[in-house]
Structure 1
Amino acid sequence: MTLSTRHIHAYLLLLPAFIFLVGFTHYPAVGTLIDSLMSTPRAGREAVFVGVENYQVMREDPNFWKSLLNNLWFALVTIPVSIALSISMALWVNEKIAGRQFLRLSYFLPTVLPMIAVANIWIFFYTPGYGLINQVLGMLGFSSQNWLGDPQLALGSVIVVAIWKEAGFFMIFYLAALQTLSPNYQEAAQIEGASRWYFFRRIQWPLLMPTTIFVLVNALINAFRMVDHIIVMTKGGPDNATSLLLFYLYEVGFSFWDRGYASALTAVLLLILAVVGLLQFFLLDRRTHYR
């Protein structure tokens, strides 16, 4: 078999994946960018080119800036806390302790639950008066709180649900990475008298950086694509306190039927994800040790 024939076979094997990639990723992205420069078609009126008008509307839209700010706070809290919890859980269940399999299952269980089911479970927890959390607070002498109805508490309540859902998922990746590390590292550290914290900070953490980059990118995407919990739990309220960027995009596109403006919001969301993802990758790649 000649070299050119092998190349042809390789490209033919990649062709189905390439078609799906172009058809379901690149083509919709280019189409969305084009739609963001067009007006929304109405009955009897075709879409016309309006340039950057949709982006000018976005610049003056207070609901957009509110949703963007909420999303930034959401990401700044959920990403580091979820990663810290996932690493802690992975380190614990990686040790030879009693009930290790049960602990692994317990930590991973929230991940396999449907998002809608998770949201409804936490609605019960947060229910004013007779919800589980308020019942516990009442037993401890604290007053009942309207967790999802108070603008000061609603976003934090949704953040707790997101962390609870994601930490176990990220734990699986860290656990798999820890199990690939040679036990010789730990044995050498014990011989040298290194503490557990020193061993983690100087040995395990640098070797886990490839996994951390992967988890960071996924956590970032999850933080900006959160919409299921918001629709079920708060619908963006109260007073847009929990309106995240994708939820606002959903409202504009499917409640207000403003395709042009929704496309502009999508383009901005994709740009934010691309810029932050690239920054994470290039900044952390310098500190990453590949084996």
Structure 2
Amino acid sequence: MSPALVLMSTFAFYPSLATLWASFFSRGTRRRPSEFIGLGNYQSLFDDPTFWLVVKNNLAYAAVTIPVSMGIALVMALWANAKIPGTSFLRTAYFTPTVLPMIAAANIWLFFYTPDIGVLDQLLGLFGLGSMNWLGRPETALWAVCIVTIWKEAGFFMIFYLAALQTIPPELKEAADIEGASRATYTRRIVLPLLMPTTLFILVNALINSVKLIDHLFILTKGGPSDASKLILYYIWELSFAYFDSPMASAATVLILIALGIVAALQFGLLDRRTHYQ
């Protein structure tokens, strides 16, 4: 266990503790050195309306992208696992967005969203509809980012579901057929319960992914307009590297780590009783 312990201590435990310690100090300048202020940074965060707007944006982003991407991934996996012609092509097509770099994927969708000359506006023009600035309107910017994330992550989650589907013994399907169970009943009563360990794993990873998006925002919206699409990691990046307020960024990071830990513990506690590992 020593190599793993050294790596975790170097790249996870120590940075987390250093971030926690830094969150208790003020921002230092050349004339005024940093000093211990306790929970002052946390109080400043709670008093910042932008912080609460970012939290609201991230909750909406997670509430949309997590269930939709997981649902699409499950449907794609069931289809790709079926004994139909062209399954190899289907698996490749579904997985292709996953292997694209984040920046490349964002640039592809920027071509879709560009007003007047973008693919979406060209399609709307065929039906006589006007141009829409998808990324420049507060009402649509966040949802446009959500679509990019769903497109990017569904194929990645599909691989896990597909691998889990291929471990289900075929004898179970034969027994279900003998008993006269329909395909829907077989899927609901046998397949989905056996996929629960994979679903739990994907759910935790999707939760983590929902708070670490930053690449797409740099290309698509930069958090705008009017912070309508700003998410928590982009907000932390701005605090640290745009406003040079590392202690405040550290405090925001600690809050996110605590929130993720609580949600993950609840997920394991609530779903583990419905999870079949054998």
On whether the aligned pair clears a TM of 0.5, the verdict is yes
Deviation at 1:258, TM superposition (A): 0.3
C-alpha distance in 2, partners of 1:196/1:239?
49
Code of the aligned partner of 1:155: L
Structure 1 alignment gaps of length 5 or more = 1-13
Q: Secondary structure at the match of 1:239?
A: coil
Code of the aligned partner of 1:98: P
Query: Which of 40, 53, 57 is the matching residue for 1:70?
Result: 57
Query: Which of 231, 245, 248 is the matching residue for 1:261?
Result: 248
Q: Secondary structure at the match of 1:24?
A: helix
4+ aligned runs moved over 3 Å, structure 1 = none
Kindly indicate whether residue 67 of structure 2 is the aligned counterpart of residue 105 of structure 1.
no
Q: How many residues align?
A: 278
Kindly indicate whether residue 110 of structure 2 is the aligned counterpart of residue 123 of structure 1.
yes
Mapping of residues 36-75 of structure 1, within 5 Å: 36-75=23-62
Query: Which of 143, 160, 165 is the matching residue for 1:173?
Result: 160
Deviation at 1:144, TM superposition (A): 1.8
Code of the aligned partner of 2:62: A
**Counterpart for residue 5 of structure 1:** none
Deviation at 1:174, TM superposition (A): 0.3
**Counterpart for residue 129 of structure 2:** 142
Query: Which of 111, 132, 141 is the matching residue for 1:154?
Result: 141
Mapping of residues 1-291 of structure 1, within 5 Å: 14-291=1-278
Code of the aligned partner of 2:218: I
C-alpha distance in 1, partners of 2:131/2:75?
31
Code of the aligned partner of 2:114: T
* TM-score between both structures, scaled by the size of structure 1: 0.94
Code of the aligned partner of 2:203: L
Structure 2 alignment gaps of length 5 or more = none
C-alpha distance in 2, partners of 1:208/1:141?
45
Deviation at 1:46, TM superposition (A): 2.4
C-alpha distance in 2, partners of 1:193/1:127?
52
Q: Deviations over 1:138-185 (max 9, x none)?
A: 112322211000100000000000000000000000000000000111
C-alpha distance in 2, partners of 1:185/1:252?
54
Deviation at 1:65, TM superposition (A): 0.3
C-alpha distance in 1, partners of 2:60/2:182?
35
Deviation at 1:195, TM superposition (A): 1.7
Deviation at 1:232, TM superposition (A): 1.2
Quickly say closer, same or farther: Cα 1:93–1:22, change in 2 above 3 A: same
**Counterpart for residue 11 of structure 1:** none
Deviation at 1:118, TM superposition (A): 0.4
Q: Secondary structure at the match of 1:222?
A: helix
Q: Deviations over 1:105-136 (max 9, x none)?
A: 00000000000000011001000001001111
C-alpha distance in 2, partners of 1:137/1:185?
47
Q: Deviations over 1:180-214 (max 9, x none)?
A: 00011111112222122211111000000000010
C-alpha distance in 2, partners of 1:24/1:179?
35
Code of the aligned partner of 1:60: D
Q: Deviations over 1:222-256 (max 9, x none)?
A: 00101110111100000100000111000001100
